[in-house]
C-alpha cells in the first residue's frame, strides 16, 4: 500500500523543511524559496521563516505538501539477515557449531582516532548493558585501538590466525572512509587472503548494503550492540565451516 507523509490527516503529505540559499534576503526572497520548493514538486508551500543569516545567505523554514507516495513493500535492500541470539546461546553455538574459539581482531583504521564505537563492541564493558566480545568465553578478541594502518591490522590478523576482522570508520567527511575501507580490501586481495577472513565494518554512517558494495561481508550502523555482531560472526563462521 502506498503511503505519504502524515502531518495531521492521513495522506496530507505535509513535510517540514529547512535550508539555506546563497542569496540576499530581499523582498522577493520569500518567493524564491517558495518557488524553489514548488519546482521540487511541493505544493501548498507555507514559508514560515525567512532570515538573512549573512548579507549573502538566506535561511528558510517551510511547510509544504507532496503528492509523492511510496509502497514500503516494494523497497528491497540488502539487510543483514541474522537470527539474534543471546550471550549464552552464542557461546554454546560457537562451541557446538563452529567447533573452535572465534578469533577476532578489531581496529579503527588509518586516520580515524575514534575508539568509542569499536570499544563498545569489543571491550568487556560493552555497550547499553550488553557485554563486549572480550567477555565471551568462546571468543578471543584483540582490540588494536585507533589510527591503525591497514598493513598492521592485516599483519596482526595473520599472526593471530583470526577468523574475523572488525573495522571501525567514524569520520566520513569527503568520503575518507571509502578510501580507507577500499584500501583494506585491496590490500587483502593483493595478498591473496581476502577469503580467509570474515570482514565487517561498523560506524554511524555505515549500513550493510554499503559495506557489501565495498567488498565487506557485513556492515553495522548506529546503536549496534555486541550481541548483534557476535550473532552474525558465529553464524557466518558456522556457515563457512559447513558449506
Partner 1 sequence: MELSLRLDQTLVDRARSAAESIADDVWRHIEAHTTDSVERTALRLLGVVGVNEIDVPLVNVVVEQGRDSLASGIIAPFVAVMMDSGMSAQQVAEGIATGTLTLAPVAAERREGVESHAAEIAAGGVARIDAARRRREELVATLSDPVKPWLYVIVATGNIHEDVAQAKAAARAGADVVAVIRTTAQSLLDYVPYGLTTEGFGGTYATQENFRYMRDGLDEVGEELGRYIRLCNYASGLCMPEIAAMGSLERLDMMLNDSMYGIIFRNINMERTFVDQYLARMLNARAGIIINTGEDNYLTTADAFEKGYTVVSSDFINEEFAERAGLEQWQMGLGHAFEIDPSIPDQVVYQIADALLVRQLFPEASPKYMPPTKYMPGDIFMGHIVDAMFNFVGVFTGQETQLLGMLTEALHTPLLQDRYLSVKNAKYVFESCRSLRDEVEIRPGGIIERRANELLGKAAEQLEHVRDVGLFRALEMGEFADVSRDPGGGRGFDGVVKRAEDYFNPFYAALREGRMSGPPVGPTPAERAASRQGGR
Reduce the DSSP state of residue 139 to 3 states and report it. strand
DSSP code for 133: G
From ligand B12, partner 1, none, which one binds at residue 103 (CB under 5 to 8 Å depending on kind)?
A: none
Binding to partner 1 (CB under 8 A): which residues in 77-106? none
If phi > 0 it is left, if psi is from -120 to 50 it is alpha, else beta; for residue 167 that is beta
From partner 1, ligand B12, none, which one binds at residue 168 (CB under 5 to 8 Å depending on kind)?
A: ligand B12
Nearest to 232 by CA among 209, 214, 213, 208: 208
Q: Quote the least distance from Cβ 107 to ligand B12, whole Å.
A: 9
Q: Quote the least distance from Cβ 66 to ligand B12, whole Å.
A: 28
Q: Quote the least distance from Cβ 50 to ligand B12, whole Å.
A: 27
Q: Supply 2's cell numbers.
A: 502506498
Position among 3, 84, 145, 191 found at the interface with partner 1 (CB under 8 A): 145
Nearest to 64 by CA among 85, 91, 38, 89: 38
State the burial class of residue 128 (Cβ atoms within 10 Å of its Cβ: 0-12, 13-18, 19+).
exposed
Q: Binding pattern to ligand B12, positions 163-192, x when CB under 6 A?
A: ---xxx-xxxx-------------------
Binding to ligand B12 (CB under 6 A): which residues in 79-108? 106
Cα→Cα distances 134→9, 74, 91, 197, 226, Å: 50, 40, 12, 19, 10
Position among 112, 138, 140, 236 found at the interface with ligand B12 (CB under 6 A): 112
Q: Which stretch binds partner 1 (CB under 8 A): 1-9, 51-59, 126-134, 208-216?
A: 51-59
Regarding 121 and contact with ligand B12 (CB under 6 A), the answer is yes
Q: Quote the least distance from Cβ 20 to partner 1, whole Å.
A: 5
Regarding 211 and contact with ligand B12 (CB under 6 A), the answer is no
Tell me, yes or no, if 101 is annotated catalytic.
no
Regarding 152 and contact with partner 1 (CB under 8 A), the answer is no
Q: Quote the least distance from Cβ 236 to partner 1, whole Å.
A: 28
Q: Supply 29's cell numbers.
A: 526572497
Binding to ligand B12 (CB under 6 A): which residues in 21-50? none
Regarding 117 and contact with ligand B12 (CB under 6 A), the answer is yes
Q: Which long-range contacts (CB under 8 A, 24 or more apart) does 13-16 make?
A: 13/65, 13/66, 13/67, 13/68, 13/69, 14/63, 14/64, 14/65, 15/42, 15/63, 15/64, 15/65, 15/66, 16/61, 16/62, 16/63
Distance CA 151, CA 148 (A): 8
Distance CA 103, CA 175 (A): 30
66 vs 172, which CB is nearer to ligand B12? 172
- Residue ranges binding ligand B12 (CB under 6 A): 106, 111-118, 120-121, 127, 166-168, 170-173, 200, 202-204, 220, 222-224, 229
Catalytic (active-site) positions: 125
Amino acid at each position: 500500500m502506498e503511503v505519504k507523509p502524515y502531518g495531521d490527516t492521513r495522506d496530507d503529505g505535509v513535510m517540514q523543511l529547512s535550508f539555506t540559499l546563497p542569496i540576499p534576503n530581499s523582498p522577493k526572497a520569500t518567493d524564491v524559496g517558495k518557488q524553489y520548493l514548488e519546482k521540487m514538486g511541493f505544493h501548498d508551500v507555507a514559508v514560515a521563516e525567512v532570515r538573512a543569516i549573512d548579507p549573502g545567505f538566506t535561511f528558510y523554514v517551510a511547510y509544504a505538501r507532496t503528492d509523492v507516495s511510496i509502497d514500503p513493500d516494494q523497497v528491497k535492500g540488502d539487510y543483514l539477515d541474522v537470527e539474534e541470539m543471546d550471550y549464552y546461546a552464542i557461546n554454546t553455538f560457537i562451541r557446538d557449531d563452529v567447533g573452535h574459539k572465534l578469533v577476532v581482531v578489531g581496529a579503527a583504521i588509518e586516520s580515524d582516532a575514534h575508539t568509542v564505537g569499536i570499544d563498545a563492541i569489543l571491550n568487556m564493558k560493552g555497550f547499553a548493558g550488553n557485554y563486549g566480545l572480550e567477555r565471551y568465553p568462546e571468543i578471543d578478541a584483540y582490540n588494536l585501538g585507533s589510527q591503525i594502518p591497514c598493513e598492521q591490522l592485516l599483519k596482526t590478523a595473520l599472526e593471530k590466525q583470526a577468523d574475523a576482522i572488525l573495522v571501525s570508520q567514524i569520520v566520513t567527511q569527503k568520503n575518507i572512509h571509502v578510501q580507507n575501507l577500499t584500501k583494506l580490501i585491496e590490500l587483502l586481495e593483493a595478498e591473496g587472503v581476502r577469503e580467509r577472513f570474515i570482514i565487517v565494518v561498523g560506524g554511524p554512517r555505515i549500513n550493510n548494503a554499503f559495506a557489501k558494495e565495498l567488498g565487506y561481508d557485513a556492515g553495522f550502523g548506529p546503536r549496534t550492540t555486541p550481541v548483534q555482531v557476535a550473532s552474525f560472526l558465529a553464524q557466518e563462521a558456522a556457515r563457512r565451516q559447513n558449506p
